[in-house]
Amino acid sequence: MTQSPVKTLYTTDFALWIEQTVSSLKSQDYNNVDWENLIEEIEALGKRDKRELENRLTTLFEHVLKRKYVDLPECYGGWEATISRTQQRLSRILRDSPSLRNYFLTIYDECYQNARKNMSQEYAAKFPDDCPFSNDVDILLTENF
């Protein structure tokens, strides 16, 4: 079976495929839209945002754990800067996609446990088994650790 020129373009020049897909959608030329790949790309965007949220939340927990439980004062400034940047990035993700707040609560404990495991491998400090930080999104993203 031969692929249509639009589907072939998807595999040979992704940037041009996007340009042509947007152009076809804007002009309502729906017959020339590669629907299968367009749907796949839209689904991938949603997964990407969720992965980004998971990664950022885990990073936030890692650095807050270090800041609160690892006695290395010479590192506090760097950890605090990372905490602040990560809070800002998480806030932007949730500002752009408010519906991800529910997902945030779903992954909260898993991200904490991943962060705790990662930090336990790096540092001899004793980290709490259960997350000691607020699960209120707004508090977590504005708290000054």
Domain boundaries, the chain: 1-33, 48-140
Tokens standing for residue 137: 């999104």
Which pLDDT score, from 0 to 100, does residue 1 have?
A: 47
Which pLDDT score, from 0 to 100, does residue 101 have?
A: 94
SS3 content of the chain, % helix, strand, coil (to 5): 75, 0, 25
16-38 pLDDT per residue, tens = 999 999 999 999 999 999 999 99
Tokens standing for residue 48: 């990407």
Query: For the residues 66-85, what does the mean pLDDT come to?
Result: 97
Confidence of residue 104 (pLDDT cuts 50, 70, 90): very high
The DSSP line for 16-85 is: HHHHHHHHHHHTT-GGG--HHHHHHHHHHHHHHHHHHHHHHHHHHHHHHHHHHH---GGGHHHHHHHHHH
Q: Which of 27, 28, 37 is nearest to 5 (CA)?
A: 37
Please tell me the distance from the alpha carbon of residue 25 to that of residue 140, in angstroms, as a whole number.
40
